[in-house]
Amino acid sequence: QTFIPEIRTSSADLTMFLKKPPNISFAFFLTHLSLCHGLQSPKRHSPYSTVDTERYSSLVKSAMSRVSSQTPLTILEEDDHIYGPVLKSPPPTTLTRGEVRTPKVLHPFLHPQEITEEEAETGGPPARIHLNRGQGRSAIPSVTRILQQTMSTEQMFYLERWKRRMVQELGEEGFKEYSQNLFKQGKTFHSVLEETLTSGVKWTDRDPFEMSQYPPEVCGYMKSVSHVLDDVREVHAIESTVQHNTLNYLGIVDCVARYRGVLCVIDWKTSEKPKPFLSNTYDNPIQVAAYAGALNTDANYKYQVENGLIVVAYKDGSPAHAHQLNFELMLDYWKTWLLRLEDYFEKRYKKCYKNVFINML
């Protein structure tokens, strides 16, 4: 880049110039002033000379390294470090500063009238109400679908960028295979969990040959949750459909059982990265609250559930993290769920009206 010196003149300089004979060129005068100014001005230091290179060395290595973490969580931390926190887009409803958005209709989380006794005990096997997935199936949206379609712009950005990075590393087919393997592992893990909970036989007491028939990742997940299973009793439901007829949504709850004496909706999750805090579980607490709220209104279940539990299992066998959701937390996440539900149906109706309008043209 070309350096252009700054030229400053005073009234005295201009007066001197006007008194000079006409044969002195204006260019010569400007050159003279520039040289004088350069001699008198102190040397300017580059702002880059004061940068603490030692402080930012780890950042440079992280940005330039070809071996980087591939999960959205670490990407988010990396962006926060480089660019600062993301400015979140405002919610659909415009709010003034300090105002908190609340559901338009605060539907109750509990429905005590559904209880036939103080708590109806399940004398037989756990409930297992299957979802109709064939022709003529219900058009009622699922909890998973609603949460996916109402994700924040920030969540969608990081999820999409993580996917692009994985595709760059594994290729389209490689990423597809990776996703399918994760799905299969999760499905097998849930099946083994189900068998363990219903049989009453601990995973650690199983025949070693039988255990060896499962993929090593699934064995790792089961080892990871074994200490949590020791505290699970009185299984009420497993992989059972719950439906909220008033709010028009449904879902499949992983498990309803007592954990350390407290009746909970339990959600089993797998992760390649540690999730020691509830905040690391993203929308999972909202999902659990949605399931519990639906179960509490569903006539197929003669009891109420006030608490939740999210168990994050790891394939390396390290102890799973169990995140308990007490009644107060469940109520908070229930309100958040009601807002997401409002957003979903608002989007859906807008799209429906738009299609009707286009068809009328």
- Given this model, what pLDDT does residue 193 score? 96
Secondary structure (H, E, C), 123-176: CCCCECCCCCCCCCCCCCCEHHHHHHHCCCHHHHHHHHHHHHHHHHHHHHHHHH
Q: Which residues contact 273 (CB under 8 A, 6 or more apart)?
A: 69, 71, 73, 74
Q: What is the DSSP letter of 117?
A: S
**Which 3 state secondary structure label does DSSP give 283?**
coil
Positions marked active-site: 254, 267, 269
**Residue pLDDT tens, the chain, 361 long:** 444 444 444 445 544 444 444 444 444 433 444 444 444 444 455 444 444 544 444 443 433 333 333 445 555 555 555 445 544 444 444 455 557 889 998 999 999 875 644 455 556 889 999 987 665 556 899 999 999 999 988 888 988 998 999 999 999 999 999 999 989 999 999 999 999 999 988 998 988 888 888 999 999 999 999 999 999 999 999 999 999 999 999 999 999 999 999 999 999 999 989 999 999 999 999 999 999 999 999 999 999 999 999 999 999 999 999 999 999 999 999 999 999 999 999 998 887 756 654 555 5
- Given this model, what pLDDT does residue 56 score? 42
- Given this model, what pLDDT does residue 355 score? 61
Confirm if 203 and 223 have CB atoms less than 8 A apart: yes
Q: Which residues contact 318 (CB under 8 A, 6 or more apart)?
A: 224, 274
Cross-strand bridge partners of residue 271: 314
Q: Within a 10 A sphere around the Cβ of 230, how many other Cβ atoms? A: 11
- Given this model, what pLDDT does residue 121 score? 54
Inter-CA distances, 188 with 114, 177, 182, 257, 315, Å: 34, 16, 10, 20, 13
Confirm if 253 and 282 have CB atoms less than 8 A apart: no
Structure tokens at 256: 């309803």
Confirm if 213 and 195 have CB atoms less than 8 A apart: no
| CA dist., res. 344 & res. 177, Å (int) | 31
Angle between helices 153-199 and 216-229 (to 10 degrees): 80
Model confidence, pTM: 0.71
| CA dist., res. 30 & res. 39, Å (int) | 14
Q: Which residues contact 112 (CB under 8 A, 6 or more apart)?
A: 304
Q: Where are the beta strands (DSSP E) in the chain?
A: 232-244, 249-259, 262-271, 307-314, 321-325
